[in-house]
């Protein structure tokens, strides 16, 4: 198992691509890769399963949704807007 925390953070596009290619190879070899990321495009491209955490609570776990951006919008952005609209 390979465990990585924000493996793409601070990398230029060339190195991001190189790391992604290596992770795909590891996955194709049948090994597990577990990584944390805030960039949803990395998660969308590389993941089979996803867990999203909000305020320390798991809000989604399982097979990767087809559109992570939509899920993120629903659980993180839309709820924030609703919270602001009701605050006094």
Select from 3.40.640.10, 3.40.50.1000, 3.40.50.300, 3.40.50.720 the CATH code of 2-86. Answer: 3.40.50.300
CA–CA separation, 48 and 66 (whole Å): 10
- Take residue 11 and report the two structure tokens written for it: 């990398």
- Low-confidence spans in the chain with pLDDT less than 70: 79-88
Residue 59: per-residue pLDDT: 86
Domain ranges of the chain: 2-86
Residue 86: per-residue pLDDT: 43
Residue 85: per-residue pLDDT: 47
pLDDT tens across 53-72, in order? 888 989 889 998 888 888 88
Residue 72: per-residue pLDDT: 87
Confirm whether pTM is higher than 0.85. no
């Amino acid at each position: 198992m390979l465990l990585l925390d924000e493996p793409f953070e601070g990398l230029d596009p060339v190195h991001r691509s190189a790391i992604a290619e290596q992770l795909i190879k590891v996955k194709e070899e049948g090994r597990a890769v577990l990584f944390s990321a805030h960039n949803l495009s990395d998660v969308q491209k590389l993941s089979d399963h996803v867990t999203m955490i909000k305020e320390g609570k798991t809000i989604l776990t399982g097979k990767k949704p087809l559109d992570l951006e939509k899920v993120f919008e629903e659980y993180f952005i839309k709820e924030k807007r609703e919270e602001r609209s009701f605050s006094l």
